[in-house]
Amino acid sequence: MKKMTKIAAVVASLALGVALLAGCSSAGDTATDGNAADNATNPDAPTLTVGFDAAYPPYGFLGDDGNYVGFDLDLAAEVAERNGWNLQLEPIDWDAKDALLNQGTINCIWNGFTMEGREDGYSFSDPYMLNEQVVVVRADSDIKSLEDLAGKNVMTQVDSAALDVLEDEEGQKALADTFAGGAAQTIGDYNNAFMQLESGAVDAVACDLSIADYQMAAKPDMFVKLDPLSTEHYAVGFAKDGDAAMIDAVNKTLKEMYDDGTIAELCEKWGEYGITIDNWVLVD
């Protein structure tokens, strides 16, 4: 939701998360504690080490009580518990995710992670959630359509799916060429991007649908979204030569969680943050 070192990026992300989310994080049970090591109780069991952006609500972020929370963290915790795995959550510098994955520091990225366009670099789980890339503007803006973005300052997160779409010749590069400066501006996390949008420092933010819905739920009179830039899917990303058995277990367990109603319960829990069962796609 990162050009700094890992430690500095995490500290900065957590500070931003606290500043933006204070007073608006009210989800029920937390997925994890702030030490990023939930249930490491069996030294002989496999460990699911999840890399996530700690400033990427509602999928993973720092709650009011200092715990990491989020829809994807809840999914990971339930999958780990059902498989008897230890769970370790690692807030990461998003720019460093590939290096951390390939080094084995983390063994998956579970963080509202778009799979389209990344298939050659990762082994993915089955897609589990439908997503879109959208553009958000202030409600009092004169921008009413994507065409109105010509000459405007549009911001997105560095190394994000939205940026990929805006830089893709077969995507929305022609649109991005019309932005002020001929391209989208980039920033380390979406929390700060929306602060800049609210202040008027930029005219629009391109982001995931769920991020847009989260920000709009927090400030319903402040923001509106335009038509989507693209449609895509979220999946869990593993290293290209990742553990095939673990990937299969993730797929199987998520389907079981859908069948027994757990997914519906988690979607309801995070519904006020823009999560809906209507976008869940991983079923038998």
pLDDT per position as a tens digit, 219-271: 999 999 999 999 999 999 999 988 999 999 999 999 999 999 999 999 999 99
Q: What CATH number does the domain containing 106 carry?
A: 3.40.190.10
Both 213 and 259 in one domain: the answer is no
Whether 274 is in a domain gets the answer yes
Both 152 and 167 in one domain: the answer is yes
Whether 1 is in a domain gets the answer no
What are 56's strand-pairing partners? 60
Cβ atoms 13, 189 nearer than 8 A = yes
Whether 33 is in a domain gets the answer yes
Both 44 and 115 in one domain: the answer is yes
What does the alpha-carbon distance between residue 279 and residue 277 come to, in Å, rounded to a whole number? 5
**Predicted confidence pLDDT, tens digits, the chain (284 residues):** 433 333 344 334 444 443 443 333 334 444 444 444 455 568 889 999 999 999 888 999 999 999 999 999 999 999 999 999 999 999 999 889 999 999 999 999 999 999 998 999 999 999 999 999 999 999 999 999 999 999 999 999 998 999 999 999 999 999 999 999 999 999 999 999 999 999 999 999 999 998 998 899 889 999 999 999 999 999 999 999 889 999 999 999 999 999 999 999 999 999 988 899 999 999 98
Q: What pLDDT, on the 0 to 100 scale, is given for residue 40?
A: 54
Both 37 and 106 in one domain: the answer is yes
Both 195 and 180 in one domain: the answer is yes
Range of the domain at 165: 131-232
Which of 217, 232, 247 is at the close of a domain? 232
Whether 284 is in a domain gets the answer no
Whether 221 is in a domain gets the answer yes
What does the alpha-carbon distance between residue 280 and residue 19 come to, in Å, rounded to a whole number? 30
Both 46 and 93 in one domain: the answer is yes
User: How many domains is the chain partitioned into structurally?
Assistant: 2
Both 152 and 260 in one domain: the answer is no
Both 119 and 103 in one domain: the answer is yes
Quote the pTM value.
0.75
The dihedrals phi and psi of 239, each to the nearest 5 degrees, come to: -60, 155
